[in-house]
A = this chain, B = another copy of it.
Amino acid sequence: MPSPLYNTASIADMRLRARRRLPRAVFDFIDGAAADELTRMANEAGFARGRLSPRVAVDVSRIDTSVDILGFRSALPLMLAPTGLAGFYWPDGEIAAARAAAKAGIPFCLSTNSVASLEAVAGAVPSVKRWFQLYMLKDRALMWDMVERAEAHGYDTLCLTLDLAVQGRRDRDIRSGFTVPMKLSSASIADFAMRPRWLWGALRRPVAFGNFASVKGLGALSVAQFVGTLFDPTVDWAQVAEVRKRWRGPMVIKGILNPDDARRCVELGAQGVIVSNHGGRQLDQVPASIEALPQIADAVAGRAAVYLDGGVRRGTDLIKARALGADACLIGRPFLWGLSAAGEPGVDRVIDIFREELAIALALLGHPVFSAIRGDILVP
């Protein structure tokens, strides 16, 4: 793929490339969030607060960006977050992303709602460190089957997501009438005229949810209808505990914003929590991830790992999250922008940008070892 990505300087640049390539309704599905998108914006804006205090005259010729993630030595404090429908933006998108993660030496987390099935991803990229993300499904038999398939195919960490009891109300998607598969009416004439290749490919490609192959009669649904049909809104802590009991590997709980919930996760045996507001896509006006982080790190108090997603766009964001208590971060939209813009090389470039930005930041801060970063790197 000869795309001139070398002068795509930042994640924000990659977003613009994705915007040029995708039909508006599809771009908006990735980019948008709930209601006024205040939380989505706060996720990013929160990282612009706080100042890093650099030290000079430190030997920074050897930079170490690696961290331990539940026993795996990740080359970067970065994971690819579970995101639905990656294969809708680019053919075999989940596999492309998993390949990029494998090359970079970082974990990849497959979504319940992927286009490629978990078997297909594991088969195509056996070397990737892989997590499986689980939603609580109304059909528990289907759910436990999916869990067993994940275990059987080498997904060694389970990422249970709890912030999708119902689907958030995303105004952009309501306006565009976005469904999966996409209806022609959701794409404007301009979309057709300007992006014939994308539409041709997407309309021909039978988009299905690979992990739900056994479920019949899922036609063109809005995401809200999909969630309402399949996901279970009655989940309580007892049922979460049951998942913890049945899964043998490490389990991480995603979607935590409240310190008391974080404590519950630890108490029932979770190995980690992911501070997340689902990229602001579920409920607007909840705290930005980086704002919620310090209290949750305090509540967890080292008894489990703490991860964060939401608004991570720069190498310095990884450092700030670390300073405030996160062991590593996940990125969702950034890698989808790379994927949508240019497929696997686009995801490669996204990870490269984080790696370069992080390494240079560590050098210029006079803190060559990422895992040694502490809160005192922030100006009080």
Contact = CB atoms under 8 A, between A and B. Distances in A.
Given A9-B171, A57-B236, A287 B363 contact: no
A57 B260 CA distance: 12
Nearest to A320: B285
A194 B61 CA distance: 44
B240 A53 contact: no
Contact of A237 (B53, B57, B163, B261): B57
A177 B48 contact: no
Q: Which secondary structure dominates where chain A touches chain B?
A: loop
A176 B4 CA distance: 12
Contacts of A172: 9
B286 A53 contact: yes
Interface stretch (A73-81, A107-115, A299-307, A354-362): A354-362
A1 interface: no
A38 interface: yes
A271 interface: no
A59 interface: yes
B379 A234 contact: no
Interface stretch (A206-214, A251-259, A334-342): A251-259
Contacts of A264: 57
A49 to B, nearest CB: 9
Given A35-B357, A287-B379, A360-B283, A10 B171 contact: yes
A198 to B, nearest CB: 23
Interface in A156-198: 162-163, 165-169, 171-172, 174-177
B58 A236 contact: yes
A282 interface: yes
A364 B168 contact: yes
A267 to B, nearest CB: 12
A12 B35 CA distance: 10
27 contacts: A7-B175, A7-B177, A9-B171, A9-B174, A13-B175, A35-B357, A52-B286, A53-B258, A53-B286, A53-B287, A55-B258, A55-B261, A56-B255, A56-B261, A57-B236, A57-B237, A57-B261, A57-B264, A58-B165, A59-B235, A60-B234, A61-B234, A163-B364, A167-B360, A168-B360, A169-B356, A283-B361
6 A-B pairs with the lowest CB-CB distances in the bound complex, closest first: A9-B174, A56-B162, A9-B171, A283-B364, A59-B234, A51-B287
